[in-house]
Amino acid sequence: MVYLKYHDDKRQVVSTYDSLPDPQEGYSIAQSDSFNVGDEFEYTIWVNSVDDDGVLMSFTAIRNNPQAKRLLLENQDLKVINETLKIEVADLWFDTMNQEDRNNNQDMDIADQWFAIMEIEERVNN
């Protein structure tokens, strides 16, 4: 059993899954034994109808040009890499901000110590 996620308005399949994916606004899920995970790269698939249980009853599929399949797969890989990089950049930014906070706290500690030394020196001199 494969789950096809398709756009509600265009009825075009955008992803295939081997387990039920989380719902997403603007998309529906159809169950099918006619496809395999990854077929959305080899074919452009449209969902014509599903039954009340969400089982695919009718579809249209056109085999993609092999170059289109390659480009779609590369695009999917780049999306994953991009998402990973976004997370890494956010982590680095968070670490940098934490380090800056620690540096600011150290600066305040040094200023407090300097102020305490000046008070002691003033008392000693008076």
Q: Does the structure show a pLDDT above 70 at 16?
A: yes
Q: What angle do CA 38, 44, 46 make, to 5 degrees?
A: 105
**Other Cβ atoms within 10 Å of 55 Cβ, number:** 13
Residue 25: strand, helix, or coil: coil
Q: Which residue has the higher pLDDT, 108 or 49?
A: 49
Give the C-alpha separation, 109 to 99, whole Å.
15
Q: What angle do CA 10, 11, 13 make, to 5 degrees?
A: 110
**How confident is the model over 47-91, as pLDDT tens digits?**
999 999 999 999 999 998 888 888 888 998 999 999 998 988 888
